[in-house]
Structure 1
Amino acid sequence: MRYFRQMLFGYARVSSADQNPAHQVDALARAGVGAENIHLDHAGGAKASRPQLDVVLARLRGGDTLVITRLDRLGRSVLHLITLGAQLRERGIELKVLEQGIDTSTAEGRAMFGMLSVLAEFQRELIVANTRDGLAAARARGRKGGRPSKLTDDQIALAQRLYDAGENTVAQIAAMLNVPRTTVYGHLNKNKSASTSTAQPPGDVPVNSVVPMRVPRTCPTCGYEPSTRAEAAHQRGDLAVAWLHPNVDDQGSVVVLSHCRHCEPEPPAFDVACEVCGDGPILAGTFARAAAGKGLPIPVQQWLVASGWNLTPTLLCPDHR
């Protein structure tokens, strides 16, 4: 495929308001990036929101080049960096890293960036192997492995009673227990409540249905696989939630993804919850910011209607419309 539009876009980031971004901005300007196409974030840490990164990724089109000064200015982690690189490559967008001499428009640059993905995979395998070895040693000493639950047994039982009674949404239960909504999802047994819902033909179950469906243990977005049964239970709860992302290639459409705790989108996030059961997708990125200020974006409304939701006068999922 040949692209005729060729524009340079720059991205810079400093980790606090006290740092001066002039060095990065000047370097991007010397590389030929126009001032109107340089995007700057003041954000530190892996969990910090980076709105200008979202903006520049949305502006990029096939044939364009994203210019940065160093790789650590772009990615929150090695995995995040590799994921972004793959997404840019699929969209026909080149990446140029000034201080590290990487230019994916050349064979040498593509090879160097490819080595990073190999190192990232090696790092992930080392983490998994070390975790398994540590758990095996702990079990040999009579200790139980796995991530500690955020809820006690009594809290889990209370959450189940409230859910079965049908008088509180999952979001309300999560607020009562002061935990994320996905934590409540991970502990609920929906079989009892789902048995009372209207039967639907196989293969025609709505995306947000409360009918129990098999949720994979391996994250389809980042590929992380839990190493213990307890962690797998948590991860299935996380993956049961649909995240709606803006489609950077088509602003009028929605991308539906599942995320584990390792690749969960950065704040803000916005819950779209059925008034009856509390089930529903979570909005990410610009969708979340728009919903918090102006209401559900048009692409999200269209997606909900197509999935069988009722939007007015109350928000109801396909099982309770």
Structure 2
Amino acid sequence: MQIGYARVSRGDHQDLGAQLAALDAAGCGRVFREEASGGKADRPELARALVALQPGDVLVVWKLDRLSRSLRDLLFTLEAVAAAGAAFRSLTEAIDTTTPAGRLMLQTLGAFAEFERAMIRERTLNGLAHARAAGRHLGRRPSLTAQQRAEIIARAEAGEGSPSQLASLFRVSRSTVQRVLRAHRARVDL
């Protein structure tokens, strides 16, 4: 029996339609559908698909990256497939682990996928370091201006409101006000 696995990343507004049509055309009698990141280890539908495999079955995916994003995770998943006495097939990359050439191709593609992900991470970290070195602020914009922080400190020191009241006045959370006051006290204590 051919068992299909279709996955889209959560929150990307992707559609499973193309994957489901390809898996149906490939003759999958059962298809497990999932909305989760490929880099995430906890994918319950993939786990259910692996448990459903019987000796002689074939786990079929539309594309290799639907199954995994790292070589380590891919090899772990394929070990589970092999332990069940089943095989693996990717429709897009024409990989079929029932043949030695298919197993070689799978390992090669997995290595390239992991290499690509490492290169993207390296470029991202390099870009962030370059932005920091150039003095650019990374992350969310501060919810309070320097003048608003100074006013919160002045009011708190004058006893003109609790952190909750000041938070309400400046339309920020109480923890934001407390963080401003803690930072000020730390500077004063030096």
Seq. identity, % = 39
- The 5 Å alignment of 1:255-266 reads none
CA shift in 2, pair 1:45/1:61, >3 Å: closer
Q: 1:48, 1:91 → 2: CA distance?
A: 20
For 1:27, the equivalent position in structure 2 comes to: 22
Deviation at 1:115, TM superposition (A): 3.0
Higher helix share: 2
For 2:99, the equivalent position in structure 1 comes to: 106
Conserved in 1, the CA contact under 8 Å of 2:38 and 2:68?
no
- The 5 Å alignment of 1:269-280 reads none
Higher RCO structure, 1 or 2 (CA under 8 Å, sep 6+): 2
Q: 1:14, 1:93 → 2: CA distance?
A: 24
Alignment of 1:50 with 2:43, yes or no, is yes
Alignment of 1:38 with 2:44, yes or no, is no
Output the amino acid matched with 2:55: G
3-state DSSP class of the match of 1:10? strand
Alignment gaps of 5+ in structure 2 = 119-190
List structure 1 runs of 4+ shifted beyond 6 angstroms.
none
Output the amino acid matched with 2:24: A
For 2:84, the equivalent position in structure 1 comes to: 91
List per-residue Cα deviations over 1:184-206 (Å, max 9, x = no partner).
xxxxxxxxxxxxxxxxxxxxxxx
TM score, norm. by length of structure 2: 0.54
Q: 1:72, 1:93 → 2: CA distance?
A: 20
For 1:64, the equivalent position in structure 2 comes to: 57
CA shift in 2, pair 1:114/1:83, >3 Å: same
Deviation at 1:116, TM superposition (A): 4.7
Deviation at 1:108, TM superposition (A): 1.9
Alignment of 1:13 with 2:29, yes or no, is no
Deviation at 1:75, TM superposition (A): 1.2
- Give the alignment partner of residue 73 of structure 1, picking from 62, 66, 76: 66
- The 5 Å alignment of 1:176-195 reads none
Deviation at 1:59, TM superposition (A): 0.6
Structure with max Cα Rg: 2
CA shift in 2, pair 1:95/1:60, >3 Å: same
RMSD: 2.5
CA shift in 2, pair 1:48/1:107, >3 Å: closer
Conserved in 1, the CA contact under 8 Å of 2:58 and 2:87?
yes
- The 5 Å alignment of 1:160-175 reads none
Counting matched residue pairs gives 115
TM score, norm. by length of structure 1: 0.33
